[in-house]
């Protein structure tokens, strides 16, 4: 497995191999868990060789957020990727991606405006900018993103379409712990008590799905069911809800009534940790 911090080396390797082999890119911020590894496995199904980028992107963190404490277990990450048969890891330094004088950003598509676009100002601007850079440095045929970051996957898909980036995006299903908690690098932050309370997010989404599956189409009713499961401020609940909503699954615009499908999304804080999760609501599943 090639491990490089150098953008030129990463591109040259990709160009050389890409002439004869289909390459898939899995962009990550490291601190890899089973969710990431499932993206790598999906990438192997879609392409001949898999490239993983590991970069904790400062421009997608607000000043108040957890950039400084974001975990960076690089040796564990490399061992896991080696085990998965990854061909190259691109692991650049911050000043490789943002050298002195850097000042061009992607102004993200409108699906970036609601939800995390409001709660995390500048987040998707940072995400789009680094993803666009990675797509230029590593000209892969396919890129695999996780559904857990649902809005991110819509934002990147719209950017790719709007800017004509020649890459196929694939969104892979969320991997969960046995009790339903979505895998996340941020789960490492949780104390034992917080970890127990974190189950509220997937419970809320299960409630949304159960309500939808039983025939409920009124969004306010489904959102109420989600809020009940989040148990805000209770000893077994989350500490704060950023949102617990049902939205159009393509535009993330608010709905009053679900026609055929929608997405239920939740973002909540437990102690100092912010977790997100979502489930797509589709008829006849």
For 234, which DSSP code?
S
Q: Which is nearer to a copy of itself, 63 or 166 (CB)?
A: 166
Q: Which is nearer to a copy of itself, 67 or 157 (CB)?
A: 157
Instruction: Write down the least CB distance from residue 112 to a copy of itself, Å.
Output: 9
The dihedral of CA 237, 243, 245, 249: what is its sign?
Answer: negative
Instruction: Write down the least CB distance from residue 107 to a copy of itself, Å.
Output: 4
Instruction: Write down the least CB distance from residue 164 to a copy of itself, Å.
Output: 4
Q: Is 260 exposed, middle or buried (0-12, 13-18, 19+ CB in 10 A)?
A: exposed
3 state SS of 26: strand
> Is 44 noted as a catalytic residue in this protein?
no
Q: Which is nearer to a copy of itself, 51 or 190 (CB)?
A: 51
The catalytically annotated residue of 36, 83, 123, 249 is 36
Tokens of 207: 């409630």
Q: Which is nearer to a copy of itself, 155 or 205 (CB)?
A: 155
Residues for the chain: how many in total?
Answer: 285
Instruction: Write down the least CB distance from residue 129 to a copy of itself, Å.
Output: 8
Q: Is 285 exposed, middle or buried (0-12, 13-18, 19+ CB in 10 A)?
A: exposed
**Distance set, CA 122 to CA 17, 68, 73, 74, 112 (Å):** 35, 17, 26, 26, 10
Kindly list the residues in this chain that would bind a copy of itself in the complex (CB under 8 A): 7, 11, 19, 101-111, 125, 128-129, 132-133, 136-137, 139, 158-159, 162-166
Q: Which residues are catalytic?
A: 36
């Amino acid at each position: 497995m090639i491990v490089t911090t150098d953008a030129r080396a990463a591109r040259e390797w990709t160009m050389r191999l890409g002439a004869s082999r289909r390459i898939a890119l899995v962009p990550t911020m490291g601190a890899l868990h089973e969710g990431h590894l499932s993206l790598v496995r999906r990438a192997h199904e879609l392409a001949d060789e898999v490239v993983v980028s590991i970069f904790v992107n400062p421009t997608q963190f607000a000043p108040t957020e957890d950039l400084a404490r974001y975990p960076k277990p690089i040796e564990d990450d490399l061992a896991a990727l080696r085990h998965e048969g990854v061909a190259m890891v691109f692991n650049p330094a911050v000043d490789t991606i943002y050298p002195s004088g850097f000042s061009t950003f992607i102004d993200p598509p409108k699906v970036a405006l609601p939800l995390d676009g409001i709660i995390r100002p500048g987040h998707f601007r940072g995400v789009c900018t680094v993803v666009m850079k990675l797509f230029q440095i590593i000209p892969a045929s396919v890129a695999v993103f996780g559904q857990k970051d649902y809005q991110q996957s819509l934002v990147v898909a719209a950017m790719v379409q709007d800017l004509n980036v020649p890459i196929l995006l694939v969104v892979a299903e969320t991997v969960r712990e046995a009790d339903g908690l979505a895998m996340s690098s941020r789960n490492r932050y949780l104390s034992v008590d917080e970890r127990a309370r974190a189950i509220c997010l997937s419970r809320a989404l299960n409630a949304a799905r159960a309500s939808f599956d039983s025939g409920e189409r009124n969004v306010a009713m489904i959102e109420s069911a989600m809020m009940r499961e989040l148990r805000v401020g209770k000893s077994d609940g989350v500490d704060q809800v950023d949102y617990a909503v049902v939205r159009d699954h393509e535009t993330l615009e608010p709905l009053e009534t679900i026609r055929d499908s929608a997405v239920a999304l939740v973002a909540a804080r437990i102690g100092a940790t912010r977790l997100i999760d979502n489930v797509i609501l589709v008829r006849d599943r």
